[in-house]
Amino acid sequence: MGSILVSGGAGFVGSFLCEALLDRGEHVVCLDNLQTGSLGNILHLVPNERFLFSAQDVELPLSAFNDIEQIYNLACPASPVHYQNDPIRTLRTNVIGAINILELARRTGARVLQASTSEVYGDPEIHPQSEGYRGSVTSFGPRACYDEGKRAAETLFHDYCKMYDVDIRIARIFNTYGPNMAGSDGRVVSNFIMQALSGQPITIYGEGKQTRSFCYVTDLVEGLIRLMNAGPHMRQPCNLGNPTETTIRELAEHVIEATGSSSELQFLPLPQDDPIRRRPDISLAFKNLGWQPTTHLPEGLARTVEYFESHQQQRPRAMTQPSRGGPIVGRLFTDSLHVAAGEQQMRRLHPDSAQLRSNGRKPNGHAGKDADSDRIGFNSN
């Protein structure tokens, strides 16, 4: 039985995806350079014998991985704060990362799903947005590194399918929220919750009339898995998101109610190229996947607020210097820059582990002959 590789697997959505796949009995290889992902998101998965973690950047060749049946490519910072911090690197992650993922799929014969984005539609001029809409976009501006990077990745996936018959799936993901979001990532839901919990003013850009469609993370993950396992007729972009449109001001009011906060609303100038409306047409997903979101916004916000209240202060943050290289054997960090930091974080989170050493597993998900019962390993060799 081959493994499923999830790049960006220690991130917000990726960690939920890894857990859902493990719940289905799959062998999962979680690949993440920890640029924006967090060890805390996947710590509870480490004891599972079918889970392996690999600290590596997708910009580097993935030659160490074999016996892979499916690949979910979620590797890329997804919030404006993170992807605008280093726009050139964001483009490299989207383009070079996509090439390396596709080459792995080509070599192993794996089916591969690209986590694209509703940002490919830019500031849309039609509502709701269907997959046939080509978008209203710009190759300049602060968001272009992400928007155009994702569009380029979609092109690469299409061309690898056409030239090499790589079995592709493309999910255009709309706004998603839920537990495991980082409080400092700049997304509107996490921003509002953090501000409300601390009693600070809730900052709304513009008049708050702009809309988004918020999909709870477990609903999205179910859609991703269904799309991955759909037939070859789904080798085309597919919207995944919640078709219920909510204004930003309404979201702020929901958050205040969910937190019981006395925070006031503060209005600031609208950022450049910020879309005014965003709503997916999910007809394709509903017809072909039988998928639609089931979690209503108040319910999802209540779960998310509970998470932030109970976890945010104790979660480890993403490492300031992400891992750039080195194939991983089992659950090992072979990037010497991250051994000490990673080991310190894991020991703090897992104090019962007096000895943290290799469990002898290999990247394809099969145990080596020296495998033991240890669940976490670090090695700078």
Q: What is the H or E stretch that residue 28 is in?
A: strand 28-31
The two three-digit tokens of residue 118, written as one number: 């509703």
Catalytic residue chosen out of the listed positions 72, 83, 121, 146 = 146
Q: Which residues of 21-35 are buried (b: 16+ CB within 10 A; e: fewer)?
A: bbeeebbbbbbbbbb
Q: Pick the closest to residue 377 from 356, 352, 346, 347 (CA basis).
A: 356
Q: Which two tokens stand for residue 203?
A: 């900052």
Residue 160 annotated in active site:
no
How many CB atoms lie under 10 A from the CB of residue 339?
18
CB 38 within 8 A of CB 310: no
Where does 59-201 show beta strands of DSSP type E?
68-73, 111-117, 168-173, 176-177
- Residue pair 347/46 in contact by the 8 Å Cβ criterion: no
Torsion of CA 205, 210, 215, 216, to 10 degrees: 30
87 exposure class (CB count in 10 Å sphere: 0-12, 13-18, 19+) = middle
Backbone angles phi, psi at 41, to 5 degrees: -70, -25
Which residues are within 8 A (CB) of 320 and not within 5 positions of it... i.e. 6 or more apart?
A: none
Residues assigned a catalytic role: 146
